[in-house]
Structure formats: structure tokens, C-alpha cells
């Protein structure tokens, strides 16, 4: 009896191990590295160790080895930060366009303004998704807005781009009362929000993408862009037939290839565009890392300053993990210091003092 029990236990164990191995190898491995495209500033620790596949990431989480940031939990606003919710920044017809505003409570010298743009495939998501970042950067001395925009189920391209540009114009138009330096504004977003940040930054003041939401005559230009794993080219074969892309554009590639180019940041780049920070994982199954590779290559060819953190073995929304979130906050902070001159207070955050990793990457 005991012999049969041992055989049964061994059989179950081998089945579980076999299933785990199959689970890990079920999806593709990361593409080849492009060290020629990676650019990081001095003093950035090496990235946390990644995973062979996205499924390996999920398994690590299920086993309790991967700790995630609680974006949806109760987020406390620090004592030195004021929060104002539901500020109207423009109108789309009769619809009010809203943002949430976070800024230092004490008077301060004009400081950079940050406009955060949530993701969600252009079809879902909420401006509160970026409260986690907003309160931390406001505590560091920045004036921060996290914005809502028309989603694809309500209005197709270029509606979302027009709304983001309107939010930038709003911040610039109200710069004096907000304590914002109008010549130091950054657009920051992840996934679809990264795409919209790039669209806003690379098409500054383009008339047919400005819309009429409000603050006409005010520039929509930004002086820095942060793109977290967002797509830059919607014309590629593995993306142009995606339902989420065609829903965003309201058409198919066969019907209107020009619209796919017009909605692709890569097609708008020129030498006058602002510095860009790119963060992307190599096992991203939603937005392939080749999108960011192409962006970095084009930025470099045009002589536009850029930083590129190509994180080996990390998936889409990689900053949901505690280790990579701390790294993301560090890189955004250093990038803003380098290209916008930093905030009025210049305070160093706890994340900047305690980023996982010990080996340093040098050279930019």
C-alpha cells in the first residue's frame, strides 16, 4: 500500500513539474538584445532580474515571489501636497473634460508641470490610475495633473490626442496661478497613455490635431516626454489589425492606411522634438519591445536626446512590480532633473535613495 502511495505521489509531482515547465515555455522568449540602442545616465543600478517569458512572471506572482504595487488601494496624500479633484480643463461639445490636480501646499518658485496620461488601450482606464505617481511627484515639488480623455467607445482618433493637448494648454494658460514654469512641461504616460504623450509631444501646435476644447492660441508644446511601453507605429503588420487599434481609429488599415500613419508618433518625428525617456520590457506581449527599439533608433538618428531602459525579461505594465516601479520612479526623476531642471524643492525621494540593485551602468 505504501509503495503504491509513493508511486502516486511521485507521479503527481512529476505531472505538476511537467505542467509548470510547459507553462513557462508556452509563450515566446524575449527578442535579441539591442545594447546599441540602450542609453542610461551614470549612477543607475542594473535592472532587477527579469523572467524568460510572461507566463514565468505570472507564475512567480502566484507563488508569492513577485511583489506588486497597490495602485488601487488607499493612497494617502502627503501633508505637504494639496489635492483638487475633477477640475474642468476643457470641453468636448457639451462634455466637460476633467483632471485631478496635485501640487505643493506651500508657496514655491515656478516649477515644472507634469501631465500624466493613463493607459487602457484607448478604451478604458481612469485618471486616478496615476494618483500613485502624482502624489509622489507633487511631494517632490512638481505641479502634477492626471487627466481623463475621450475613450474610443465615445469618440475615435484624434479625439484623445486633442483632449491631451487641451490639458497641456490648460496648464500653460494657468501657469502663473498654479506655480508652473510654462516653458517646462512634460507629458508622461504608459501604454496607450505613452502613445498619447508622444503624439502630443511630437505634434506640437499641429492645427488639425489641436481640437477646439479650449484655450485657443496657447501652445500645446511640451519640453519632455516619458513613454512607458507605449506603441509608436500603428502601421506594423502585427498591430494594425488589432481590434483595440481599429476601434481607436474607427477604421481599418485596408480602408485608410493614411490614418494609421497620422496616428503613429514615429511618423511625426523631426529634429525639433523634445527629449524622450523610454522604458519597455523585452517580454511585452501587448506592445512588442521592437516598437521602442524603432523609436530609439529614430530619435538617435535625428539627434534628439533620449534615454532608453530596455528591461530584459519584464512584461507590459512592468512598473506594477515593486522593484521595477522604484526603478521607473528613479529614472523619471533623473530625466526631469536633466532635461527640465528639476522641481522647485529638488527634494530627493526615498525611492531615489533606495533603489534595488548594486551594480552601476555608466555612459550616456
Residue 154 inside a domain? The answer is: yes
| Residue 83 resides in a domain | yes
Return d(Cα 231, Cα 319) in angstroms, integer: 17
* Max Cα–Cα distance, the chain, nearest Å: 86
Answer whether residue 364 is part of any domain: no
- CATH code of the domain containing 127: 3.40.50.1820
In a domain, residue 363? The reply is: no
pLDDT confidence of residue 19: 38
- Nearest CA-CA partner of 327 in 338, 339, 314: 314
Cα angle 49, 54, 56 (rounded to 5 degrees) comes to: 65
Residue 42 lies in a domain: yes
C-alpha of 84 from chain center: 23
**In the chain, which residue ranges form alpha helices assigned H by DSSP?**
2-25, 54-62, 131-139, 159-173, 175-178, 192-202, 243-249, 257-262, 290-302, 322-340, 350-353
Check if the beta carbon of residue 83 is closer than 8 Å to that of residue 77.
yes
C-alpha cell at 290: 521592437
Contacts (Cβ under 8 Å, ≥6 apart) of 267 = 233, 235, 261
Nearby residues of 64 by Cβ (< 8 Å), 6 or more positions away? none
Q: What is the pLDDT of residue 21?
A: 46
Q: Give the pLDDT confidence score for residue 348 in this predicted structure.
A: 56
pLDDT for the residue 205: 86
Q: Give me the half-sphere count of Cα atoms (radius 13 Å) on the Cβ side of residue 45.
A: 18
Helix (H, G, I), strand (E, B) or coil at 130: helix
User: Helices (H) and strands (E) in the chain — how many of each?
Assistant: 11, 10
Is 25 within the bounds of a domain?
A: yes
Domain that holds residue 191: 2-358
Residue 280 Cα distances to 12, 147, 177, 286, 348, angstroms: 38, 22, 36, 11, 24
Using CA atoms, how far apart are residues 319 and 69, in angstroms rounded to an integer?
8
Q: Is residue 255 part of a domain?
A: yes
Cα–Cα distance between 228 and 211 in angstroms, integer?
A: 25
Bridge partners (DSSP) listed for residue 279: 228, 309
Is residue 142 one of the residues assigned to a domain? yes
Q: How far does CA 26 lie from the centroid of its chain?
A: 27
Contact 161, 193 (CB under 8 A): no
Q: Choose among 361, 292, 363: nearest CA to 47.
A: 361
Please choose, from the candidates 284, 273, 174, the residue with its C-alpha nearest in 3D space to the C-alpha of residue 221: 273
Instruction: Order across the sheet with 81-92: list the strands.
Output: 81-92, 95-104, 143-147, 111-117, 180-190, 224-228, 276-281, 306-311
Does the predicted model carry a pTM greater than 0.95? Answer: no
pLDDT in tens, the chain (364 residues): 555 545 444 443 433 444 344 344 445 444 567 889 999 999 899 999 999 999 999 999 999 999 999 887 789 999 999 999 999 999 999 999 999 999 999 988 999 999 999 999 999 999 999 999 999 999 999 999 999 999 999 999 999 999 999 999 999 999 999 999 999 999 999 999 999 999 999 999 899 999 999 999 999 999 999 999 999 999 999 889 899 999 999 999 999 999 999 999 999 999 999 999 999 999 999 999 999 999 999 999 999 999 999 999 999 999 999 999 999 999 999 999 999 999 877 655 444 444 433 233 333 3
Please give the tally of structural domains in the chain: 1
Residues 6+ apart with CB under 8 A from 315: 51, 54, 57, 281, 283, 284, 285
Amino acid at each position: 500500500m505504501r509503495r503504491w502511495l509513493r508511486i502516486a505521489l511521485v507521479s503527481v509531482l512529476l505531472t505538476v513539474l511537467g505542467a509548470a515547465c510547459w507553462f513557462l515555455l508556452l509563450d515566446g522568449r524575449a527578442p535579441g538584445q539591442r545594447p546599441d540602442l540602450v542609453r542610461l545616465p551614470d549612477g543607475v543600478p542594473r535592472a532587477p532580474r527579469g523572467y524568460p517569458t510572461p507566463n514565468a512572471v505570472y507564475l512567480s506572482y502566484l507563488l508569492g515571489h513577485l511583489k506588486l504595487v497597490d495602485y488601487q488601494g488607499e493612497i494617502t496624500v502627503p501633508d505637504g501636497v494639496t489635492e483638487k479633484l475633477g477640475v474642468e480643463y476643457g470641453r468636448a461639445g457639451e462634455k466637460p473634460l476633467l483632471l485631478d490636480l496635485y501640487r505643493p501646499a506651500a508657496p514655491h518658485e515656478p516649477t515644472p508641470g507634469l501631465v500624466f496620461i493613463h493607459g487602457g488601450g484607448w478604451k478604458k482606464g481612469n485618471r486616478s490610475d496615476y494618483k500613485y505617481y502624482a502624489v509622489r511627484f507633487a511631494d517632490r515639488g512638481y505641479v502634477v495633473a492626471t487627466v481623463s480623455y475621450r475613450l474610443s467607445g465615445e469618440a475615435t482618433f484624434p479625439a484623445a490626442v486633442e483632449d491631451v493637448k487641451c490639458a497641456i494648454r490648460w496648464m500653460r494658460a494657468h501657469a502663473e496661478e498654479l506655480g508652473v514654469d510654462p516653458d517646462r512641461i512634460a507629458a508622461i504616460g504608459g501604454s496607450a497613455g505613452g502613445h498619447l504623450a508622444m503624439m502630443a509631444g511630437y505634434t506640437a501646435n499641429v492645427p488639425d490635431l489641436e481640437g477646439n476644447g479650449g484655450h485657443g492660441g496657447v501652445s500645446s508644446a511640451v519640453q519632455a516626454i516619458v513613454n512607458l511601453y507605449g506603441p509608436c507605429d500603428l502601421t506594423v503588420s502585427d498591430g494594425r489589425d488589432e481590434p483595440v487599434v481599429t476601434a481607436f481609429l474607427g477604421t481599418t488599415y485596408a480602408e485608410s492606411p493614411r490614418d494609421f500613419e497620422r496616428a503613429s508618433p514615429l511618423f511625426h518625428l523631426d529634429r525639433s522634438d523634445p527629449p524622450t525617456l523610454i522604458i519597455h520590457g523585452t517580454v511585452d506581449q501587448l506592445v512588442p519591445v521592437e516598437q521602442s527599439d524603432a523609436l530609439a533608433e529614430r530619435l538617435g538618428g535625428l539627434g534628439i536626446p533620449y534615454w532608453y531602459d530596455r528591461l530584459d525579461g519584464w512584461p507590459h505594465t512592468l512598473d506594477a512590480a515593486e522593484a521595477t516601479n522604484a526603478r521607473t520612479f528613479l529614472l523619471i526623476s533623473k530625466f526631469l532633473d536633466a532635461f527640465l531642471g528639476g522641481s522647485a524643492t529638488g527634494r530627493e525621494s526615498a525611492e531615489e535613495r533606495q533603489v534595488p540593485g548594486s551594480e552601476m551602468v555608466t555612459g550616456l
